[in-house]
Each structure stands twice: as structure tokens, then as C-alpha cells.
Amino acid sequence: MTEVLTSPIAPGRPSTRRNDDVTRLLPKPLLVIVIAVLLIVVLTPVLYILFASINSDVSVAQGAFFPAELHLDNYVKIWSTVDLGTGLFNSVVVCGAVALVCALLAVSSAYVLVRYSFRGRLTVLRALLGLQSIPGTLMLLPVFVLFSTAATTLGIQIIGTRGALFITYLTFALPFSTWVMVTYLRGLPRELEEAARIDGASSWRILTRIVIPLSWPGIVVSAIFAFLLGWNDVLFASVMTSPESRTAAIALQVFGATQEGGAIPLYGQMMAASLICAVPVVVLYLVFQRYLVGGLTAGGVK
């Protein structure tokens, strides 16, 4: 007779604790120390910028970390000292448009590349990866010459407008965003689309009613990448913009350049302007954090 041995330990908290002990890479005391060190390394520069933005310029120049007295007027003066309002408006408009258009084009292009077989499909996929290896610095002069030639031929002013930045950022963001969506859509089950086709749904209806609602994490990652590409850019924005179409990054660059040499720079206002420009990105990450985790890990397990 064969006896069946059952474990006397009931499933529940002990099992969960055992699994946690197995999966933990470091002992708990050492893990706490590592996390504390990482937090110090990350938060110290942020706290320094925050304290310097409400400190006097002389105290910052002397190396003071904590402000002796609060100078909250730095956040008021910055709007008249630097053309920050125009820069933020241009950045939000251009980068927001790039993010929206890039996400829509990426998901539709990736759907065609993943679900349909046609001649040149593999070539397109390889080209998407190859385009990521080209530095943007090498493309500055060709893009500038191309826009100048197009302006001369068509008689339309391109350089110095928001449209020039929009086309430039979209060109560089679209390949990566498309590849992100290709990786994400490969993980979606085909059975959902096949069931919809049996019910008579067209490809467009499947894309808009099934694929896009299930692909929000990948779409958000693509959109945020495109947004940050334009928000952090200084190279192309310094060449493609005029004083009326400057982005926030260029406004900060111009303000910092004017503070070099001479009297004590306006450190407090510089730090305040930097924090103001960082707020939209931080809010963007906080709002879409749960989508970013799913989108960045899509395609990691096959």
C-alpha cells in the first residue's frame, strides 16, 4: 500500500515568507543600507537645487547648502528675467503634438508589421533597429540643409518655426516608438482578433476597438519617450528655433549663458527655473507610472 504524505504546514503566511526569503537578493539589513545610500545619492542634488532656489545668490556662491533666509521671490522674478513662459508654452505644444502623433503612427505601423506578411517586412524591422544607432549630431547639418532647400523651393519659412521642431523630433522618435509597439503587440493573443473577424469586424475596427485599448502601456511608453526627446533637446532646438519659438531648454541655456562672468550670477533664479521646467516631466511620470511599468517590461518574457 502506498501512503500519501501530506505536509503539516498549511499554505499561507509561512509559505509567502519562505518565498520572499528565497527571492531576496540581499539580507534585509544590507538591503536597507543599499536603499538608503541610493536615496541619498539621488535626493541630495535635488534637495540642493530646491534649497538654492529659495536662497540668496551670495549664499549659494559661498557654498551654503541650507538657506539662511527664504527668498521665495526667485520664483516670481524668473518669469520676467527669463522668457520662461514662452519657452514652456512652445515645449508643451511641440512635444505634446509629437507624443500624440508618434504614438498613433507607432501603434498603427506596428500592427501592420506584426499582423501582416509582405515583401520588405523584415527589411523595415531591421531598419528600425539600424536607425537607433545613428547619432543625432550627425543628422543636424543634413536636416538643416534639407529644411533650407525645402524653404527655398516651396517659398515657405520652415526653420525658426514650431513645425520644424515637430518634424525633426517626430523623425527621430518614430523608429524607437514603433519598435516598442512591435514588441508589445507580439505579446497580444491573436485569438481576440480572429474572433472579431469571425463576427465581421474590419481591420480598422479591430485596431481601434481591440488592439489600441489593450496596448495602452506600450502606447504610453512610446508617447512619453517622444515627449522627453523633444523636452530635453538642446542641439536641434538651438538651430531650428527663433526667439519666438524657443523651447524651455533653450530659454534656460540662454539665461545661463548671460550669467557667465561679471557679478554674482542669479543662482537662485537659475535653480528656480530648472525646477519649474522639471515639473511637467515629474507629473507625467507620476500620472502614467502604472502604464510605464507594464509597457517597459512588455516583450521581456517570450
Of 14, 229, 272, 283, residue with least CA distance to 102: 229
Instruction: Map out the domains of the chain as residue ranges.
Output: 77-249+278-296
Q: In this predicted structure, what is the pLDDT of residue 8?
A: 46
Compute the average pLDDT of residues 19-35.
70
Predicted local confidence at residue 89, as pLDDT: 92
**Mean pLDDT throughout 193-204?**
84
The answer to whether the pTM exceeds 0.85 is: no
Longest CA–CA span in the chain (Å) reads: 96
User: What architecture does CATH give domain 77-249+278-296?
Assistant: Orthogonal Bundle (1.10)
pLDDT tens track for 233-280: 888 888 888 888 889 888 888 887 777 665 677 888 888 888 998 888
Q: What's the mean per-residue pLDDT of the chain?
A: 81
Residue 20 has pLDDT above 60, yes or no: no
Q: Is residue 1 predicted with pLDDT exceeding 60?
A: no
**C-alpha cell, 80:** 520676467
Q: Per-residue pLDDT for 14 more than 70?
A: no
Per-residue exposure over 231-242, b if at least 16 CB sit within 10 Å of its own CB, e if not: bebeebbebbbe
Total number of residues shown for the chain: 302
Question: What does DSSP assign to residue 62?
Answer: T
What DSSP string describes 89-139?
A: HHHHHHHHHHHHHHHHHHHHHHHHHHH---TTHHHHHHHHHHHTTS-HHHH
